DNA sequence: CCAACAATTATACGTTTGTATAATTAAGGA
DNA sequence: TCCTTAATTATACAAACGTATAATTGTTGG
């Protein structure tokens, strides 16, 4: 007499979110190999069969998890912007600082990001998600740069603006990646200050406090 | 009557190298999941049982492969420096261009790098190797920057130089990573020119042709 | 209060995985 | 030349994987 386990119904949205969260947790802790359908189900406190009910294949679930991760990182850098002053230069400065500060620079985020990047070259769905989220972040940065330069009375043709956004994005990416990879080594370095200083020279626009 | 497959004996060193090479090829092509013992053996043109004869466990083989990868990358970067001209500014320029050009920007390199980075937060040995190779690369860049600035008659205190090297390294990392991740999107962009332009502003030192 | 439906669990299947062990064969020294 | 030894192949096995499908159960509208 094995009693069938009781359960509660949850909305589709909540269940998908729970499965995605469980997937990210497992990948962060033990890499992609640890994110098996059975482990994911256990972490989300459901049975493995339910995964197939919401995601046709495990690949779909992983892709959805990647999208959730990337948009989450972008939002982490963007979140404080809305509550900020309307001073364009301060907004850009805050965006830069947030991009090289926790939670973005936490090792967990880096491990997840690396796991995703590893799939990008050969998984079309992952590549599409990555490109979309990359461009979303870059466009956001481009807008902030344009506003800051304009407020300083500088003209900005689109080609130059795009180059600034690409380089600035690359700078922020490289900084948070290394800071997350070897936190001990960067603990004694004021990363926000370094980022602001480099950005100031990149745009020829003072950003430091 | 199935004839047993013929074979030739090889030295331990050669066999281990062949197995490591096969492992890296497979990880680059299909990720860590593709590097099964059977696939590795097939690629190295031996039977799966032989792997266990040289590596007690598959984990040992993967660790050896990562170490080989890291040291190989550093040596490649070091070797490249020696063939450059002795004009300090040209050396820095060539180094920057090489860092955002093939074979560095090939998706294969990015996939292997991402596979390694994914292990860094969880594996102390991997973290040590990564930190050492990162610092080796950064120190090289710092030396090139110092020489170029000095040749231009600029003074450079060590703190500023280190900041320049960190920011420059981050810029190059971010650029080659994205170029390798979404090559289609960057195909129409002159990445070396963009990198040189950004570096020039970062150092306030003209580097473009 | 009941019936219909969707959400969830349960079970099963075929593959593939890493590893263990026994059988064979190439290579070198006596 | 033969005989020993280590390198290599061959076979086997239990565990874990993703997926498919059937059986149940919570929920909601009438």
- Taking the C-alpha atoms of residue A100 and residue A178, their distance in angstroms, rounded to an integer, is 10
- What is the pLDDT, as a whole number, of residue A49? 96
Output the domain CATH number for residue A103: 1.10.357.10
A121 and A87 in a single domain? The answer is yes
**Is residue B72, in this structure, part of any structural domain at all?**
no
Q: What is the mean pLDDT of residues B75-90?
A: 76
**Residue A177 scores a pLDDT above 60:** yes
Instruction: Name the residue among B178, B182, B185 with its Cβ closest to that of A170.
Output: B178
Residue A124's pLDDT is what?
77
A169 in contact with B, Cβ within 8 Å: yes
**What's the mean pLDDT in A107-115?**
87
Same domain, A49 and A77: no
Q: Residues of chain A with pLDDT > 90: what percent?
A: 64
Q: Are residues A101 and A158 in the same domain?
A: yes
Protein residues contacting strand C, judged by Cβ under 7 Å: A 2, 4-5, 7-10, 12, 15, 46-50, 53; B 4, 6-9, 35-39, 48-49, 51-52, 57-59
Cα A104 to Cα A60, A74, A98, B58: the distances in Å are 25, 9, 8, 33
Query: Residue A173 pLDDT > 70, yes or no?
Result: yes
Residue B2: inside a domain = no
Average pLDDT rounded to a whole number, residues B42-49: 97
Averaged over B94-122, what is the pLDDT?
A: 85
Percent of chain B scoring above 90 in pLDDT: 58
Assign residue B26 the CATH number of its domain: 1.10.10.60
Give, in Å, how far the C1' of D4 lies from the CA of B21. Answer: 33
Whether residues A155 and A92 share a domain: the answer is yes
Q: Which of residues 40-69 of A touch strand D (CB under 7 A)?
A: 48-49, 51-52, 57-59
Instruction: Answer with the one of A22, A39, A55 that is the final residue of a domain.
Output: A55
Tell me, yes or no, whether A23 lies in a domain.
Answer: yes
Residue B75 placed within a domain = no
pLDDT band at A201 (very low <50, low <70, confident <90, very high): very high
Higher-confidence position of B124 and A82: B124
Tell me the per-residue pLDDT of A18-34, one tens digit each, with 9 for 90 and over: 999 999 999 999 888 99
* Same domain, residue pair B39 and B106: no
Q: Are residues A68 and A158 in the same domain?
A: yes
Give per-residue pLDDT as tens, B155-175: 899 999 999 999 999 999 999
In a domain, A4, yes or no: no
Is B174 a domain residue?
yes
Q: What is the mean pLDDT of residues A183-198?
A: 94
> What is the CB-side half-sphere exposure of residue B138 using CA atoms within 13 A?
21
Q: Residues B172, B115: one domain?
A: yes
* Whether residue A86 has pLDDT greater than 70: yes
Angle at A43 between CA A37 and CA A48, to 5 degrees: 35
Confidence bin at B32 (pLDDT 50/70/90) = confident
Domain containing residue B119: 87-209
User: Over chain B, what is the mean pLDDT?
Assistant: 90
Give the residue-averaged pLDDT of B143-163.
95
Q: Kindly state whether residues A79 and A152 are assigned to the same domain.
A: yes
Q: Does A24 touch chain B (CB under 8 A)?
A: no
Whether the pLDDT of residue A100 is over 80: the answer is yes
Give the per-residue pLDDT at A117.
86
Taking alpha carbons only, the member of B90, B73, B91 closest to residue B82 is: B91
Number of domains in chain B: 2
Per-residue flag: A38 CB under 7 A of strand D:
yes
| Whole-number Å distance between alpha carbons of A44 and A52 | 14
Please check whether residues B138 and B194 belong to one and the same domain. yes
pLDDT value at B196 more than 80: yes
CA of B72 to C1' of D4 (A): 40
Do A135 and A172 sit in the same domain of this protein? yes
Could you tell me the CATH number of the domain that includes residue A35?
A: 1.10.10
B194 band by pLDDT with thresholds 50, 70 and 90: very high
Chain A contact for B75, CB < 8 A? Answer: no
How near does any CA of chain B get to the CA of A2, in Å? Answer: 37
Is a pLDDT exceeding 90 seen at residue B73?
Answer: no
- Residues A86 and A170 reside in one and the same domain: yes
B150 lies within 8 A of chain A by CB? no
Whether A178 and B169 lie within 8 Å, measured CB to CB: yes
Does any domain span residue B42?
A: yes
pLDDT above 70 covers a percentage of chain B that reads 95
Residues A185 and A169 in one domain: yes
Which letter does DSSP use for residue A204 in this model?
T
Q: Write the pLDDT tens digit of every residue in A12-22.
A: 999 999 999 99
Question: Do the domain assignments include residue A190?
Answer: yes
**By CA distance, what is A182's nearest residue in B?**
B131
Q: Which of A119, A167, A177 sits opposite B198 (nearest CB)?
A: A167
Alpha-carbon span B136 to B117, nearest angstrom: 17
Q: How confident is the model at residue A139 (pLDDT cuts 50, 70, 90)?
A: very high
Rounded to an integer, the average pLDDT of A182-200 is: 94
Q: What angle do CA A130, A122, A30 make, to 5 degrees?
A: 75
């Amino acid at each position: 007499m094995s009693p069938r386990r009781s359960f509660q119904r949850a909305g589709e949205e909540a269940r998908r979110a729970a499965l995605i969260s469980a997937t990210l947790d497992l990948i962060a802790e033990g890499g992609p190999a640890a994110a098996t359908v059975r482990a994911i189900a256990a972490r989300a406190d459901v049975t493995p069969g339910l995964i197939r009910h919401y995601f046709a294949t495990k690949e779909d679930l992983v892709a959805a998890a990647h999208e959730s991760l990337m948009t989450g990182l972008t939002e982490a850098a963007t979140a404080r912007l809305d509550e900020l002053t309307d001073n364009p230069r301060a907004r850009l400065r805050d965006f830069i600082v947030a991009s090289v500060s926790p939670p973005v620079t936490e090792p967990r985020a880096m491990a997840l990001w690396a796991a995703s990047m590893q799939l990008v070259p050969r998984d079309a769905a992952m590549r599409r998600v990555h490109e979309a989220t990359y461009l979303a972040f870059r466009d956001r940065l481009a807008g902030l740069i344009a506003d800051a330069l304009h407020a300083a009375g500088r003209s900005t043709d689109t080609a130059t603006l795009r180059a600034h956004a690409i380089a600035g994005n690359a700078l922020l990416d490289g900084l948070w990646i290394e800071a997350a990879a070897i936190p001990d080594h960067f603990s004694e370095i004021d990363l926000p200050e370094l980022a602001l200083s480099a950005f100031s020279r990149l745009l020829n626009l003072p950003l430091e406090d």
